[in-house]
């Protein structure tokens, strides 16, 4: 357990410098033009194939681009999975003047790096049937908590993730956008009896 | 020893002390989380003990580490506390259940996080 704690703490430290985007954008042109988007994606592909593949899959699943344009550089970063993003994080990039200038590339590299760090821990989405099972455990523990969960995340996808913890069952933090529990689930949870699983989540 | 002076040693000691304080605080939280699961969520004590016995007792990490360095209490101590909760559980069962304001709690965590991720804690 100490090793896992150190690993998770290490990951937290990697994340601690991230300014998570907290505001929802309402501007109509929150996405880059097709030309800009293609250029950005082709560049991301050269930086991280994993991030590129995830953004492509995200786009296919959500039927919209998973990179959003922000006008203020202080708003750049990651939007943690929330709302109807079905467990995908959204990359928020600033409008770039002089694209491919060294400074701009360096900034993009940093943001893609953050996305890669996110994928390292939160990259594995829990299948919907698994989310439903865990939501039902929460329902058994406290119906009010379950109802509050559903208000923020109807499927549980944004708060329940799969993560290999070498048999350590589960870990918990909180979602930066809504403050609800954020669960990482190890496959060993399935080996427990119902009562033991309830203790894991009650704890 | 090169690069070691009073100041750097002091910093090092403080950092280690800080970790020990954090660990002791986390152990208290873990006891409280066990207690909460039993008293507030109504999880059965025997299920909790069953889990701890099967998954945590005799854990290699715990065997090789001093108790004050652990982030979690020793499994045997957790079981002792769980057994002690039986009396309190019986007393509580005669009272009406306290409603928890989950929306307010979530709001507190959200405000506390200031948009940043919290530390992941193994259960």
pLDDT at A26: 41
Q: How confident is the model at residue B16 (pLDDT cuts 50, 70, 90)?
A: confident
Q: How many domains does one find in chain A?
A: 2
Same structural domain for residues A62 and A111?
A: yes
Give contacts of A164 with chain B, Cβ < 8 Å.
Answer: none
Query: What is the reported pLDDT for B101?
Result: 92
Could you report how far apart the first and last alpha carbons of chain A are, in Å? 16
Contacts of B34 in chain A (CB under 8 A): 203
0.80 exceeded by pTM: no
Tell me: do A154 and A90 sit in the same domain: no
The answer to whether residue A9 is domain-embedded is: no
Nearest to B113 among A144, A174, A203 (CB): A174
Pair A51, A100 in one domain: yes
| A78 and A43 in a common domain | yes
Structure tokens at B41: 């969520």
pLDDT, tens only, B42-52: 999 999 999 99
Q: How far is B32 from chain A (nearest CA, A)?
A: 8
Buried b (16+ CB within 10 A) or exposed e, A17-44: ebebbbeebeeeebbbeeebeeebbebb
Residue A22 belongs to a domain: yes
Greater model confidence, A84 or B70:
A84
A195 and A179 in one domain?
yes
Q: Give me the residues of chain A with pLDDT under 50, please.
A: 1, 9-28
Specify the pLDDT at position A13. Answer: 42
Regarding predicted confidence, which is higher, A24 or B77? B77
Search chain B and give the residue with CA nearest A166: B122
Q: Does A111 fall in a domain?
A: yes
Within this chain, do residues A23 and A110 fall inside the same structural domain, yes or no?
yes
Domain boundary among A98, A122, A146: A122
Same domain, A24 and A100: yes
Boundary of a domain, candidates A62, A92, A122: A122
Burial (CB < 10 A; 0-12, 13-18, 19+), residue A188, is middle
Residues A57, A131, single domain; the answer is no
Taking only the tens place, the pLDDT of each residue in B95-114 is 777 788 999 999 998 888 76
Within a domain: A10: no
CA distances from A120 to A14, A44, A96, A107, B74 (A): 11, 17, 27, 20, 30
Mutate to test the interface with A, among B42, B45, B122 (most CBs of A within 10 A): B122
Chain A 163-182, CB below 8 Å of chain B: which residues? Answer: 165, 167-180, 182
Tell me the percentage of chain B whose pLDDT exceeds 90: 30
Q: Answer yes or no: do A105 and A94 share one domain.
A: yes
Q: Name which of A144, A168, A198 is nearest B47 (Cβ-Cβ).
A: A198
pLDDT of residue B19: 78
Rounded CA separation A151/A153 (Å) = 6
Residue B82 pLDDT grade (very low, low, confident, very high; cuts 50, 70, 90): very high
DSSP 8-state class, residue B99: P
> Residue A5: inside a domain, yes or no?
no
User: Based on the domain organization, do A113 and A167 belong to the same domain?
Assistant: no
Q: Contact A143/A41 with Cβ under 8 angstroms?
A: no
Range of the domain at A77: 17-122
Task: Tell me, yes or no, if A10 comes closer than 8 A to chain B by beta carbon.
Answer: no
Residue A20 is predicted with a pLDDT of 45
pLDDT at A104: 77
Whether A148 is covered by a domain: the verdict is yes
Of A91, A122, A153, the one marking the end of a domain is A122
Which residues of A are less than 8 Å from B110 in CB distance?
A: 174-179
The reply to whether A1 falls in a domain is no
Q: What is the distance in angstroms between the Cα of B48 and the nearest Cα belonging to chain A?
A: 6
For residue A149, being part of any structural domain is answered with yes
What does the alpha-carbon distance between residue A19 and residue A78 come to, in Å, rounded to a whole number?
Answer: 8
């Amino acid at each position: 357990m100490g090793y896992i704690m150190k690993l998770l703490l290490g990951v937290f430290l990697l994340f601690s410098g991230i300014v998570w985007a907290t505001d929802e954008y309402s501007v109509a042109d929150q996405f880059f033009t097709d030309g800009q988007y293609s250029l950005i994606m082709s560049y991301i592909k050269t930086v991280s194939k994993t991030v590129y593949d995830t953004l492509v899959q995200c786009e296919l699943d959500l039927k919209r681009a998973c990179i959003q344009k922000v006008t203020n550089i202080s708003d750049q970063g990651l939007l943690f999975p929330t709302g109807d993003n079905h467990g995908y994080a959204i990359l928020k990039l600033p409008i770039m003047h002089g694209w491919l200038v060294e400074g701009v590339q360096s900034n993009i590299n940093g943001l893609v790096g953050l996305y890669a760090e996110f994928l390292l821990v939160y990259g594995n989405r829990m299948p919907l049937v698994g989310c439903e099972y865990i939501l039902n455990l929460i329902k058994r523990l406290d119906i009010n908590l379950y109802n509050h969960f559903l208000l923020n995340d109807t499927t549980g996808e944004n708060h329940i993730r799969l993560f290999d913890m070498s048999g350590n069952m589960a870990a918990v933090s909180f979602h930066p956008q809504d403050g609800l529990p954020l669960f990482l689930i190890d496959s060993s949870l399935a080996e427990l009896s119902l009562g033991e699983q309830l203790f894991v989540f009650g704890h | 020893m090169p690069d070691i002076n009073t100041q750097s040693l002091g910093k090092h000691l403080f950092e280690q002390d800080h970790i020990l304080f954090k660990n002791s605080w986390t152990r208290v939280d873990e006891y409280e989380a066990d207690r909460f699961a039993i008293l507030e969520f109504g999880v059965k004590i025997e299920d909790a003990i069953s889990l701890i016995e099967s998954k945590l007792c005799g854990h290699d990490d715990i065997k090789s580490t001093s108790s004050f360095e652990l982030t979690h209490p020793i499994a045997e101590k957790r079981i002792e506390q769980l057994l002690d909760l039986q009396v309190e559980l019986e007393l509580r069962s005669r009272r009406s259940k306290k409603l928890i304001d989950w929306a307010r709690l979530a709001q507190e965590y959200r405000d506390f996080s200031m948009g940043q991720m919290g530390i992941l804690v193994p259960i």
